[in-house]
Chain A
Amino acid sequence: MSVLISHQPRRGPRSILPWLAAPALVVFVGFAVIPLVGVFALSFTTWDGIGGIHPSGLTSWRAVLTDPGLPHALGVTFLVMAVSWAVQTPLSILLGTFMAGRQRYRAVLGVVYFVPLMLSSAAIALAYKALLDPNFGLGAGLKIQVLSQDWLGRPGLAFAVVVFVVSWQFIPFHSLIYQGGVQQIPKSLYEAAQLDGAGRIRQFFSITLPQLKYTIITSSTLMVVGSLTFFDLIFILTEGGPGDATRVLALDMYKRGFQASLMGPASAIAVILVLVGLALALLLRRLGGRDAGASQLEGA
């Protein structure tokens, strides 16, 4: 803060700018940076969450890195990330392009698509859990054999359900991003294409998709980094089960920390989670190219 105060003597609208950033900075430091440092420090200790905190060097790290549960949880996390990205991205682009049209019925449908985003993850998970219950759920109630599978009780099915529910919840959000992206594309591009005789499909692949490049990167970054923190939904739907079929890294961290009272190893996993998230975000920025700020209209 002392740095900020040194700007004070300067007059004019510039001097107020750092202050405008202050609330965000306070929240970021308070809720992200300080806990992060705390977690890093905790990962070198032994603590059961109740008693005293005892420094123990690399014990927690050794325990976590040699546990076969870690590569498994990492694998599940990346699989959820990849599959849910592959499901969400094409659907979101198509829905977003559709909603970007000016017709009124599209606007109405756009509002309907938006509904899942307004529900809390916990509510969504509880609702799906009840619907998918093999004995009292939708399938059993309507006596439809196909629907009365053991949805959350078989490893493969449970995984598919998790991806489905995640997609159901987040496709509206990404559609919205793509809708905005599509509406930014200058009309003149489409008009020129029409004059050249390009059909709708050709226009989509030759104009819309290339023009959405940076929107895709933004949306993918949100999806990929966001999928690292999936917790509430999976916790309520399957609790990581059956067995450990849907135990993602964030859930593994919670279970170790708060159920098994092993705060040291849980903190080590938290640090791994942060590192993986940062690496992925950087990678995606790289994919966007160094000139991410440059005009998207070049060569169009």
Chain B
Amino acid sequence: MEIHLSRRTLLGLAAGVPVSAALAACGSSGPGTGGGATYWYLNGQPQEGVRAGAVDAFNKAHPEEQIKDTTFQNDAYKTKIKTAIGAGRAPTVIWGWGGGTLRSYVKAGQVEDLTPFFDEHPEAKKRLLPSSFDAATVDGKIYAMPGETVQPIILYYNRKVFDRVGVEPPKSWDDIMALVPRFNAKGIAPFALGGQSRWTNMMWLEFLFDRIGGPEVFQAVIDGEKNAWSNPRAITALTKVQELVEADGFIKGFSSITADSNADQALLYTGRAAMMLHGAWSYGIQQARGGDFVPGGGLGYMNFPPVEGGKGDPGNTVGNPAQYLSLSSKAGSEQKKTAREFFAKGVLQDAEVKKWIDNGSVPIRLGTEKLLAAAKNAEFLQFTYDIATKAEVFVQSWDQALSPTAAETLLDNIVKLFQLSVSPKQFADNLNAVTGT
């Protein structure tokens, strides 16, 4: 076949190509009909390596069904994934935290109902912690495959700093307030905090609400009760956190520290801060980055202590019951098939489970007690496992449990609360306006 190209056609092509290339470059790898399935998840070691390892293992075992993975930074991902889904360019497998965000995907018909999948593959469900399915369930149907690890929020402390100052870990809120001046007097920040990330501050409120008022105070918010934030016990919790800020309980400059930079954790393992409230995933990060700190027994950990006169069970915890993989309803049928295969045969296989445990995390797979006990971080793993399995109530992180709109108002106001620029009452009023029905 002979192709005749006139000069005009060539010029036209030359002019057109950059434009179309530029336009194409605007979108990331979208769904597309052919090709393998796509999967986006968070970067940051050591977790990133485990996620990538699971994908690689699946790709090797299934040469004809490939998954292409792309990684994103935590705070950036939260926006990126929403935009991509809204634009119809979601990856086949959507990594997330379940809860309110998942509900917004479901309402928009963007994710597949996986209930039939779990009916077909009962073994995929039976091998996971039952509590991990709550945040994946919307109106009685399962819309996400729980995966990875259970991540309660833990109160970490630096044992060496405690020894040097000659004090004991806190057993109550009053102990915490008493410790603050002791550390400040020695030039050590009582608590590290990456306040610019906002959800880091939120963890404090999650615990204070629970310890002071019990889980029903925040449950009232989720249920959309009118003026739920004005509950006197909520106001007490908000007041207590401001007292801690006023007493210089947090590291100087906390409102400009981001959690994505891991600077808050560096403050703890370098001994410039004595304590830190952070997720269970922080253990692995401190182990990877803190040099001798974790192996040398420098890192102490405990559940958040009770507050005097509080109603909440001190065994309760807050955090992420699991991570969640949803299936984009816009994906092609081949891609969906590959993703389902990945859910059934690729998620939390033995090799991945072992890697999570080595990193100091507790995978949500059942029957891992022996593995946990034999691991090098056995003590911490047992501690996390006990919290996760024995907690009467496991409150999902608020910003994930609420709708994205309410979560944004919440996070904004939490920052202002920690800046002392709104009073507890103003905080409650601002939030009642977005969460009340």
Contacts and interface: CB of A to CB of B under 8 A. Distances in A.
Dominant SS among interface residues on chain B: helix
B409 interface: yes
A63 to B, nearest CB: 11
Contact of B256 (A152, A244, A256): A152
Interface stretch (A172-180, A222-230, A257-265, A282-290): A257-265
A153 B419 CA distance: 9
Contacts, number: 98
A48 B408 contact: no
Interface in B256-280: 256-257, 263, 266-267, 272
Interface residues of A, number: 32
Interface stretch (B81-89, B119-127, B235-243, B319-327): B81-89
Contact of A48 (B79, B109, B272, B404): B404
Contact of B15 (A23, A50, A151): A23
Residue among B196, B263, B407, B416 with most chain A CB within 10 A: B196
A238 interface: yes
B374 interface: no
B263 A242 contact: no
Given A49-B83, A51-B104, A259-B79, A241 B255 contact: yes
B85 A135 contact: no
A255 B82 CA distance: 13
A151 B196 CA distance: 13
A158 B253 CA distance: 11
Contact of B253 (A153, A238, A255): A153
Dominant SS among interface residues on chain A: loop
Contact of A260 (B408, B416, B421): B408
A51 B19 CA distance: 29
Given A241-B255, A242-B415, A261 B107 contact: no
B389 to A, nearest CB: 34
B256 A242 contact: yes
Contacts of B251: 135
Residue among A129, A136, A153 with most chain B CB within 10 A: A153
A280 interface: no
A132 to B, nearest CB: 8
A243 interface: yes
Nearest to A157: B256
Contacts of B415: 241-243
B267 A260 contact: no
A191 interface: no
Nearest to A262: B405
18 contacts: A49-B83, A50-B85, A51-B104, A51-B110, A129-B256, A132-B256, A134-B252, A135-B251, A135-B267, A150-B252, A150-B253, A150-B255, A152-B196, A153-B195, A153-B253, A242-B256, A258-B79, A261-B405
Given A48-B404, A258-B82, A262-B405, 11 more contacts: A26-B19, A132-B256, A133-B257, A150-B256, A153-B254, A242-B255, A242-B419, A259-B79, A259-B404, A259-B408, A260-B408
